[in-house]
Structure formats: structure tokens, C-alpha cells
A and B are shown apart, each in its own frame.
Chain A
Amino acid sequence: MEKELRHTQCAYMGKLLAGFTHELKNHLAIINESAGLMGDLLDMGKGKEEEALPKLKSIIETISDRINLADIMLKHLNGLAHRMDTPQSLFSLTEVVSEELALIKRFSRLKGIDIEVECGEDSYQVFSNPTLLQFVIFVLFDMALSNLESGGKIKVVFKSSIQGPQVQLEMIGNCLKKNKAAPNNELLKLIEFSSKELGAKFEIFDKSEFCKIFSITFTFSKP
């Protein structure tokens, strides 16, 4: 199982990086076209610079926005990479999961599936393996994105319980194939194994009769 876990983790990193680089290329393409258009307006509108001024200002704003978006993504990717520095650490559940969600957003946008995050003021501190947690979350997201129809929603809820902090993923919407919403046996084994490594308990709720397809909750011990 450990070998399988490592292999799936490598595939996860590959998929995440592919999505990230693709998104970054999109930002660069917009910056490239915007800068090109500024050059065109200045070159082709000689003597009409005054007229082009509002347009140029709006293009500069676009470039600045795109640089900011790319910078935010880079910060999240850098954070994700540095999570691997120490296998076990004290971390904020919301921070670690949100860091990953920022990189997953693109996949959900392309599938037309909404991501909703519900969290209180608490940062939900836990002592566990952040990289492994991000991997498990990604695997579940990947499964949900493959199974949910466009228009569906994935809800991420952070909460406190008597046992400790919890993160819950809820997949809501119509399923592409009947009875394909819940994880298959192979995936269940992987989640089970990873949960032990994380020191977290997990519970699955099948709510298909309520149209909510299913939800999974990880409960961590108090640090």
C-alpha cells in the first residue's frame, strides 16, 4: 500500500503542477497581449497619444491584476512545496487546505463545479502530516470533479468537535454515472491508510437520497 501511495502522490504532484503551469501560461498570455496592444496603440496612433491614454491606463490595470494573480498562485505553490520540508508539524487546517484549493480552483472552473468554503474564526491547529493531508484532499476533489455533473458543488467545511478539529468535504449535485459518487474500494483503502498516517479518523456519509451525493469528514486529535 505504501508503494501505491507514493506512486499516486507523484501522479498528484504532476497533475497539480500541470494545472498550475497552464494557469500561469494563461496569465502570461494576457500580459503578453496587453503589452503588445500598448505597443500597437503607441506605434500606430502617433500623434493620438492623448486619445489612447484611458485605454493605456486600463491595459496597465489588466497587466497589474494578472501579475498579482500569478503572484498569489506562486505563493501558494511555494507554500505547498515547503510543506514537504518537515513530514510532521503543527499547522493550521484552514491554511493548508486553502493553499491547495487555490491551485485546484482551475480544475473546478473548467468542469463548471463550484467550490464553497465554510470556516469560522478559528485556524484549527493540528499536529499531523500536511503534505499527506493535501494529497488526500486532492484525491477526493479529483474523484468529485470526475463524477459530478457541471453545476455541482464541493463544499469544504472546517469545524470543531469534542474530539478535535474537523475538515469535511461535501459533494453536492448530480452524478455523471449512477452509484459512482462514492470512492471505489481501491480509493477507500488509500484513504484508510492515509488517515492512519495522518492520525485522523474519517467518516463517510452517503446522502444520495437527499441529492447531496456524499460527504467525508476527517477528525484530528487536539494538538
Chain B
Amino acid sequence: MMSNVKVLIVDDEVEFASALAERLELRGFDVLVANSGSESLLLYEQSVPSVVVLDLKMPDMSGLDVLVAMKKINSTVAVIMLTGHGSASSGILGMEQGAYDYMMKPVDIGELVEKIKMAHKATKSAK
């Protein structure tokens, strides 16, 4: 049951985050949305998601800063980075900081769902 999988989407583009959240909900996931780095850290601490889908570029905090802060709070949660960059370099940088995986925007929903399922398993086994 995907409703056991709590996903936190972090993206400052409100329309992107809400559309993606709805698509994941239609696929049975339990989804939370944060539109800034600071908001995401609060939700992360309060709701303890099993997977985070995190945008790299945000106005208040960069995705990498958010990732580092999340890992300090709870290092077991798998984080998938989303990047709008044309190259993979920023995604790889995220993985060096402890991200589980990365994807480039625009995302393929099927591919994202598979990555979330795998990330959820990784989170469960890390606990």
C-alpha cells in the first residue's frame, strides 16, 4: 500500500509542487508539500516523511543546504534531488552530500514513482 509511504515534496514553484503532489496522491502516496526550505525543515521534523523530493534551487535556502540540514535532523530519510540544470553535475553534488538519487526536470512520473518506492525501501532498511 502506497499510503504507507509519506512523501515530502519541496519546491518553491507552487504550481509544480501541487500538480506533482496530486499525481502522487492519485497513485496512492501520502503527500506533504513545502514551498520553501525553511517550511520543509519544519514539516520534516514534525511529520517524519519516508522520502523527500527536493528541488535544488530555491530562494530562501538552496536544496543542498536543506539536504544537509535534513540529514542533521534525521539521516535515515532518503532524499531525491530535482534539478533544472542541463547537466547531471548538480545532482551528483547532491549525492555526495548524502542524497539517495537525483532526477532532472521535467520528470517522468513513472520513473519518479519507481525511485520513490526504492527510496522508501532504503529508508526502511536504514532505520
Contacts and interface: CB of A to CB of B under 8 A. Distances in A.
Size band of the B side of the interface?
10 to 19
Scoring A26, A31, A66, A110 by chain B CB atoms within 10 A of each residue's CB, the highest score goes to A26
Contact of A33 (B20, B84, B85): B20
A53 interface: no
Contact of B57 (A21, A30, A110): A110
Contact of B23 (A21, A28, A33, A62): A33
A30 B13 contact: yes
A26 B84 contact: yes
B52 to A, nearest CB: 18
A44 B26 contact: yes
Contacts of A109: 59
A90 interface: no
Interface stretch (A34-42, A133-141, A186-194): A34-42
Contacts of A150: 60
Interface residues of A, number: 24
Interface of B: 13, 15-16, 19-20, 22-23, 26, 57-60, 84-86, 105-107, 109
Contacts of B20: 33
A98 B16 CA distance: 27
Q: A interface, by DSSP: helix, strand, loop or mixed? A: helix
Contact of B16 (A33, A59, A110, A112): A33
A32 B107 contact: yes
Contacts of B15: 30, 33-34, 62, 66
A36 B13 contact: no
Contacts of B13: 26, 29-30
Nearest to B16: A30
- Name the residue in A33, A36, A44, A62 with the highest tally of chain B Cβ atoms < 10 Å from its Cβ: A33
Given A28-B106, A41-B26, 14 more contacts: A21-B86, A22-B85, A26-B16, A26-B105, A29-B13, A29-B84, A29-B105, A30-B13, A30-B19, A33-B15, A33-B107, A37-B19, A37-B22, A112-B60
Contacts of A111: 59
B84 A110 contact: no
A36 B19 CA distance: 9
Contacts of A36: 19, 23, 109
A34 B19 contact: yes
25 contacts: A22-B57, A22-B85, A25-B84, A25-B86, A26-B84, A28-B105, A28-B106, A29-B16, A29-B84, A29-B107, A30-B19, A32-B106, A33-B15, A33-B16, A34-B15, A34-B19, A36-B109, A40-B22, A44-B26, A59-B19, A62-B15, A66-B15, A110-B57, A110-B58, A150-B60
